[in-house]
Amino acid sequence: MIVLFTDFGLEGPYVGQMKAVLQARAPAVPVIDLFADAPAFEPQLAAYLLAAYAGEFAEGTVFLCVVDPGVGSARPPVIAEADGRKFVGPGNGVFEIVLRRAMRRRWRCIDWRPERLSASFHGRDLFAPAAAMLAMGQDVPATALPFDGARPGADWPDDLARIIYIDGYGNAMTGWRASATTESTRVRVGDCAIERARTFSDVKPGQAFWYENANGLVEIAVNRGRASDLLGLGVGAAVAITT
């Protein structure tokens, strides 16, 4: 399958245009909409979000990932491979955490170019065709890149104490893995120290808590309320996690 992960939003033509390319080039391959509202213009935040979800997909899955504020610049177009999954998109760090946590990994700069390559929509013109080719088992000409300290995102922490996503219920997801916490870990937002609970029904309505979400991340929530509103949290906000 091909999995879409973008910051395009659902308004406008952009996701539809990419899907049209995928349908034309890989008509038999299912296309899954994972995120159309990844953190806009924020490859770092998107990197931790992508890493939390990618492992749920089978080996052989191709991820088409476009969080690309530097489109048209010198940043390379890349194919990353991590534990049997393939990721196509900008070489701006968005694949850093996926690669870092993988047992088997490599990444390459895409050498292939289409006949038409706009300056501002590589998602449609370059990344979507490359993803389709990979999903169809075709080779995409590319040059190996070193996995060294010069790569984008190499200096990012293993876990990120920032809000990387807010869902439709106002729950605020951090880039910190719950496996790096203990039962006594607290999450501090401003002057508010938030304690851990197993799930929503374990606290009173209106009470804030944090829990291990279904994808293994520390997530801040309010039972029958919106943590983003109650605590004034937005995407990118810093929190303090005391382990």
d(CA 171, CA 22): 32
Give the residue among 117, 107, 9 at the shortest CA–CA distance from 67: 9
Model confidence band, residue 111 (pLDDT cutoffs 50, 70, 90)? very high
- Burial class from Cβ neighbours inside 10 Å (0-12, 13-18, 19+) for residue 225 reads middle
Per domain, the residue ranges of the chain are: 2-145, 160-242
The pLDDT of 171-175, averaged and rounded, is: 98
The pLDDT of 65-81, averaged and rounded, is: 97
**CATH fold of 2-145, please?**
Rossmann fold (3.40.50)
Q: Pick 160-242's CATH classification: 2.40.30.90, 3.30.70.141, 1.20.1070.10, 2.40.160.210.
A: 2.40.30.90
* Average pLDDT of the chain to the nearest whole number: 97
d(CA 218, CA 106): 28
Structure tokens belonging to residue 146: 């070193």
Percent of the chain with pLDDT over 90: 98
d(CA 217, CA 52): 7
The pLDDT of 46-66, averaged and rounded, is: 98
Q: What Rg value do the Cα atoms of the chain yield, rounded?
A: 19
Give the residue among 241, 243, 57 at the shortest CA–CA distance from 163: 241
Tens of pLDDT along 203-241?
999 999 999 999 999 999 999 999 999 999 999 999 999
The pLDDT of 149-164, averaged and rounded, is: 96
CB-hemisphere CA count at 13 Å for 41? 1
Model confidence band, residue 23 (pLDDT cutoffs 50, 70, 90)? very high
Q: What is the reported pLDDT for 243?
A: 80
Percent of the chain with pLDDT over 70: 100
